[in-house]
Structure 1
Amino acid sequence: MYRAVKSRGFVAVMAGATTVAMLAGCTSSGGGAGKSGQAGSSTVTLMAGAQDLSKEQIAEFEKLNPGITVKLILTDATRLNTMLAAGNPPDVAVGGAVGSANINARGLATDLTPYLQKSTVLKESDLAPVNNSFRWDGKQSGKGPLFGIVKDWSQDATLWYNTALFDKANVPHLSETEATTYDDLLKIAKQLTAKEGGKTKTYGLGLEWAWTLYGPMSAMILQQGGHLYNDDLTEINFNSPEARRAFQWYVDFAQAGVGPTSLNPLPDGSDFSTFAAKRMAITQDGYWFGGNFAAKDALKTVKMAPAPVMGDTRANPTYSGQGWWIPKKAKNKDAAWKLMEYYMAGPPAQARAASGWGLPGLSSLMSKLPQELPYQKAAYATAQNELKYAVALPDSPYISVDLLNTTIDKYLKAAITKKMTVQDACAALTDELNKALKQGKDQIG
C-alpha cells in the first residue's frame, strides 16, 4: 500500500474471549525500556490514521491495561519529522517497511528484538517474510534486528478488473494464475478504453499513479533480471536497458490515454471511486482492494488477477508494507509495546484479516482471510499463488521513497510531453537522484 499510504477502513470484527484473555494476561512482556517505560500509569501517544484504531478498540485496550491511556495523533509526516528532530516523538508511529532503511540508518527507531524475545503474544517465528523489510543490520535492510512490525500488506502489482466491462468490449477475462505481459496489458487497456465527445468515458487501466512510481518500476526492472542500484545502494541507474524499458512503458501508457497520470489525474487521487462507478476496467492494486466489495451494495463483477510481467521473471512485491515502529526517543516504550501486541495480534489484527483489507503481518492469521463470497474465494486463491513470487524491493537508506517518486514523475512528464527523449530523461533522472543519494550518504555517514 503503501507508496503513498493507502487510506482504508475496515469492518470491525469482535474477537473471542480467548484472545482478549490472552492479551490481558500478557501485559508484562516489555523489553526493558528503563526509565522511559513507566508502563501502568502513563499515556501512550500513537501517530496513526483515524481508521487504524477505533475508539472501541482503544477503550478495550485501556480496560485490559489499567493506567495506560492512548492518545491518538493523526498521521502527519511534517509533524512527525518536527517531533523527531525535537527529541519528543510519539511513542508509536506508522510507516512502510519499504522506506524504513532511511529511518533506521538515522538511528531513529527502537530495536524490537528484546521485546519479541520476552513476548508471549508476538513471536518472531510467526512474522510473515514481509516484516524482513523492517530489519536493519547497520548497512542494509532485510537482515539483522527488527525495527518495526507490518500490520497488513499486499503484493501491490496485482490486478483487479470489472468482468462486465471486459464482456462489453468482447475482451477475454484475465487468467487467475498466469501473468499477462505488460505489453499485452497495454494492448488490452486500449481495447477497454472508451471515449465519447473527445472525453474518456471509461479508462482501460489505472496504475494508482499518484501513490507510487518507484515501486512498480523497480519490480519491472527485477522482472527483467536488472538492478536499479549498485551493491551498496549509494548509486542508482535509470540508464540501463531494463530501466529504460520500464520508463518507456510508462510513457507509452500515458501517451495512449488509457488511464490517469499526473498530467491527467483523478480528482480524488485514487482509482477506487472511478473503478466502483464502472468507469475503469482494470486497476493495479493489491489484495487489500478487494475489501471494498464485501458490502451488499458494492460492485459484484470484480476479479483479481496476477501481477503482470516485464521480462522472464515473475516478481510481485509490496510497495510499502505499512506497519508500526517505536521511535528511539519514545518516552513510554514498554506501554507502546503492549499497544503493539494488542494491535498486531489481538482483536484489531483479527478484524483486519477477516475483513480482507490486506494480507496479515502474522502468518498465523492468514487463514482468517475472507472466503465467503465468490470473488473473495477466487481472490484468496490468486493471492496464495502470488506469494510464490513475493520479492523485496531495494531500499536505499540515503534517499526517501517520496523523493524517488516525485523525481521520477518529473522526468516522466517531460518525456510524455516530448520535452525530452526517453534516453535524455533517464539520464537526467539518474544524475539528479545520484546527487540526492550522495547528499544523503554525506549526511548519514
Structure 2
Amino acid sequence: MKKTMASILALLLMASFALAGCSDKGNHSGSNNGQSDDKPVKLVWWVHENPSFVEANKKLIEDYKKVKPNVTVDLQVFPYDAFVQKIRVSMNTKNPPDIVQMFGTWVREYAKNGLLEPAANGAELEAEVYPAAIGGFQYDGKVYGVPHEFNIENAAALRYPQMFKEAGIDKDPSTWAELLEDAKKLTRRSGDKITVRGLDITSNDSIVFYFLAFIQQQGADFWNDDQTQVNFSTPEAAKAMQELVDLVKVHKVTDLTKLGTPDEPYMIFFKGQSAITTAGPWTIAEGINTFNVENFDYMPIPSFTDQPAVFSSESGWGEVVSKQSPNSQAAWEFVQFMMEEENALAWNLHTSSIPANKHVAEDPKYLESAPLVKAAVEALPNGRWIGPLADRDYFFQVIIDVYAEIVHDKTSVQDGLKKAETDINKMLQAKQ
C-alpha cells in the first residue's frame, strides 16, 4: 500500500508505517436519530495507522470542537491489516463506527450492499472533487464518501537533470516521439546489458496504468458502455500494448530483469540505474528520506498521441458514513467540515498528499509548499476514474502477466490481450 501512504512534500514531512495496536473499545453514545442539534453527540471514527494521517485527523477534531462543542469525536486507530479486517466484520453489524476512513477501491462494495449513508449534497461534492478521485466513492448515481487525496501513479516521472545535461538534452520532451529520442540518448549499456535505463515503465502499476492511458489517449476506452466488461480487442488496445513492448524490444530503453522482484523501478532509479522512471509522487520522499538522494526532480510525461494526456487513476483515502450510525447527519457534518478548503489544505500539507479537492490543488499556497509535485498537480484535470475493477489485484496481475508473456515471445499481442480480456471479464461476471 505504499502508494496510498504517500509522502510527497519531501522537504516538510516523511510519512511512514509504524504499526502498533490500538484498542477498539468504545461504542456510540448520544443518539440524535440523524438530527444535528445542541445535544451531546459522540462520533466513533476508525482510521488506519499512518502517522501523518493520524496527526492531521487529530488536528481536525480539535478544530471541530471549537465549532461544535457538543460533538465528541472518538478517533480509533488500527494497524493497516487489522483495520481492513475490522471494517469487513463490523460494517455489517448493528454497531459499526459512525465514520470510517476508506480507500476508494473499497467503497463501492459497501455501498452496493447498503452499508453506507449517501451524501445529501452529492452533486456539490462531485463539483468540488476531481472526477478520478471521487469516482470510487460513487455508486448508482449517489456519492457515498469524500476523498481527501488523489492517488495518482502516472502522467509524471522521476528524472535526473544531470543525466539529461550529460546527454546534451536541454529541454523537457513535449511529444512522445521526443521522449523516446531522449530515452535512447540517456540509455547506457555494457555490452548487451543495460546499465542505465533511459525510460523505465516496468513497475506493476506503470505497466497497467500506461496501457490504459495509451488506449484513452487514442480517444478510445477499455470498458463497455455500462462498465461491466473490459474490451481489449480493439486496435487502440493493441497499439497501446505494442508500444509498451517496444520500449523493451525495439527502442531498448529498459528491460524486464527486475519485473516481479523486490527491487522495484523507483528503487533502481534512486540507485542511479535509470534516467527517467514513471512513478507516483509518493516516491519523492522515498528518494530523499530513504535513499538520501536529492539531485533529481519530477517531470511531466507527454501524451502518447496529439490528444490530451488523459489517464486512469484510482480514488485515494477518504471518509464514509455508516448506514447504521444513529448520528449519520452529525457524522456527515463532520465529514463536510474536513472538506472545507482551509481544513482540506491543512490536511494535505500535513499528510504530504495530492489534494482531491480542486480548490486546494489550485491554491498557490499548496505548490509553494510542495514545488516538486508541480507536474503531478498540473495533470490532475486529465485524470479519469479507472472504473469498477471488482478485484483490483487480479485485474492488474492479469495485464502484467500478459505483458511479460508478450515481451518474452510466449504469445502475440492479439492473443495475449484476448486472454486478458477473457480472464478479467470472467472475474467481473463472478463479482456482479
Alignment of 1:331-350 (within 5 A): 331=325, 333=328, 336-337=331-332, 340-341=335-336, 343-345=338-340, 347=343, 349-350=345-346
Q: Tell me how far apart the structure 2 counterparts of residues 341 and 209 of structure 1 sit (CA, whole Å).
A: 36
Partner-residue secondary structure (3-state), 2:76 = strand
What is residue 7 of structure 1 aligned with on the other side?
Answer: 6
Query: Given the alignment of the two structures, is residue 392 of structure 1 paired with residue 394 of structure 2, yes or no?
Result: no
Change (3 A) 1:137 1:40: closer
Query: Given the alignment of the two structures, is residue 133 of structure 1 paired with residue 135 of structure 2, yes or no?
Result: yes
Q: Tell me how far apart the structure 2 counterparts of residues 351 and 12 of structure 1 sit (CA, whole Å).
A: 12
Change (3 A) 1:71 1:260: farther
What is residue 94 of structure 1 aligned with on the other side?
Answer: 102
Tell me whether 320-329 or 342-351 shows the greater mean CA deviation. Answer: 342-351
Change (3 A) 1:286 1:70: same
Structure 2's unaligned 5+ residue stretches are: 15-30, 66-70
What is residue 202 of structure 1 aligned with on the other side?
Answer: 196
Change (3 A) 1:333 1:44: farther
Give how far 1:217 is off: 1.8
Give how far 1:264 is off: 2.8
Tell me whether 350-359 or 218-227 shows the greater mean CA deviation. Answer: 350-359
Query: Given the alignment of the two structures, is residue 367 of structure 1 paired with residue 329 of structure 2, yes or no?
Result: no
Q: Tell me how far apart the structure 2 counterparts of residues 31 and 420 of structure 1 sit (CA, whole Å).
A: 61
Q: Tell me how far apart the structure 1 counterparts of residues 8 and 377 of structure 2 sit (CA, whole Å).
A: 23
Change (3 A) 1:435 1:358: same
RMSD: 4.1
What is residue 227 of structure 1 aligned with on the other side?
Answer: 221
Q: Aligned to 2:403, which of 412, 422, 425? A: 412
Give how far 1:425 is off: 0.9
Change (3 A) 1:94 1:189: farther
Q: Which amino acid aligns with 1:146?
A: V
Partner-residue secondary structure (3-state), 1:45 = strand
Q: Which amino acid aligns with 1:92?
A: V
What is residue 262 of structure 2 aligned with on the other side?
Answer: 267
> Contact 1:134–1:148 (CA<8 Å) still a contact in 2?
no
Give how far 1:265 is off: 4.6
Post-superposition Cα deviations, 1:53-85, rounded to whole Å, max 9, x if no partner, equal 22x752662575363220112333852563267
Change (3 A) 1:103 1:42: closer
Give how far 1:261 is off: 4.8
Change (3 A) 1:402 1:333: farther
Change (3 A) 1:52 1:440: same
What is residue 68 of structure 2 aligned with on the other side?
Answer: none
> Contact 2:189–2:195 (CA<8 Å) still a contact in 1?
yes
What is residue 27 of structure 2 aligned with on the other side?
Answer: none
Change (3 A) 1:357 1:290: farther
Post-superposition Cα deviations, 1:409-438, rounded to whole Å, max 9, x if no partner, equal 121222222222222111111111121122
What is residue 165 of structure 1 aligned with on the other side?
Answer: 163
Q: Aligned to 1:299, which of 294, 304, 323? A: 294
Q: Tell me how far apart the structure 1 counterparts of residues 316 and 255 of structure 2 sit (CA, whole Å).
A: 25
Alignment of 1:143-162 (within 5 A): 144-153=141-150, 154=152, 156-162=154-160
Q: Tell me how far apart the structure 1 counterparts of residues 246 and 5 of structure 2 sit (CA, whole Å).
A: 26
Structure 1's unaligned 5+ residue stretches are: 14-29, 139-143
Q: Tell me how far apart the structure 2 counterparts of residues 274 and 357 of structure 1 sit (CA, whole Å).
A: 23
Q: Which amino acid aligns with 1:69?
A: D
Q: Tell me how far apart the structure 2 counterparts of residues 293 and 75 of structure 1 sit (CA, whole Å).
A: 23
> Contact 2:206–2:278 (CA<8 Å) still a contact in 1?
no
Give how far 1:395 is off: 1.0
Query: Given the alignment of the two structures, is residue 281 of structure 1 paired with residue 288 of structure 2, yes or no?
Result: no
Give how far 1:290 is off: 5.4
> Contact 1:3–1:320 (CA<8 Å) still a contact in 2?
no
Q: Tell me how far apart the structure 1 counterparts of residues 87 and 113 of structure 2 sit (CA, whole Å).
A: 12
Change (3 A) 1:349 1:288: farther
Q: Tell me how far apart the structure 2 counterparts of residues 265 and 69 of structure 1 sit (CA, whole Å).
A: 41
Give how far 1:5 is off: 2.8
Q: Tell me how far apart the structure 2 counterparts of residues 262 and 244 of structure 1 sit (CA, whole Å).
A: 24
**Structure 1 length normalisation: TM-score?**
0.73
Q: Tell me how far apart the structure 2 counterparts of residues 336 and 6 of structure 1 sit (CA, whole Å).
A: 24
> Contact 1:152–1:360 (CA<8 Å) still a contact in 2?
yes
Query: Given the alignment of the two structures, is residue 83 of structure 1 paired with residue 81 of structure 2, yes or no?
Result: no
Give how far 1:249 is off: 2.2
What is residue 53 of structure 1 aligned with on the other side?
Answer: 54
Change (3 A) 1:145 1:234: closer
Post-superposition Cα deviations, 1:328-381, rounded to whole Å, max 9, x if no partner, equal 4564645654653454445563252488642442415521445559x928x63x
Partner-residue secondary structure (3-state), 1:92 = strand
Partner-residue secondary structure (3-state), 1:67 = strand
Partner-residue secondary structure (3-state), 1:227 = coil
Query: Given the alignment of the two structures, is residue 358 of structure 1 paired with residue 360 of structure 2, yes or no?
Result: no
> Contact 1:229–1:235 (CA<8 Å) still a contact in 2?
yes
Q: Tell me how far apart the structure 2 counterparts of residues 408 and 400 of structure 1 sit (CA, whole Å).
A: 13
Partner-residue secondary structure (3-state), 2:426 = helix
> Contact 2:131–2:383 (CA<8 Å) still a contact in 1?
no
Partner-residue secondary structure (3-state), 1:165 = helix
Q: Tell me how far apart the structure 1 counterparts of residues 78 and 199 of structure 2 sit (CA, whole Å).
A: 36
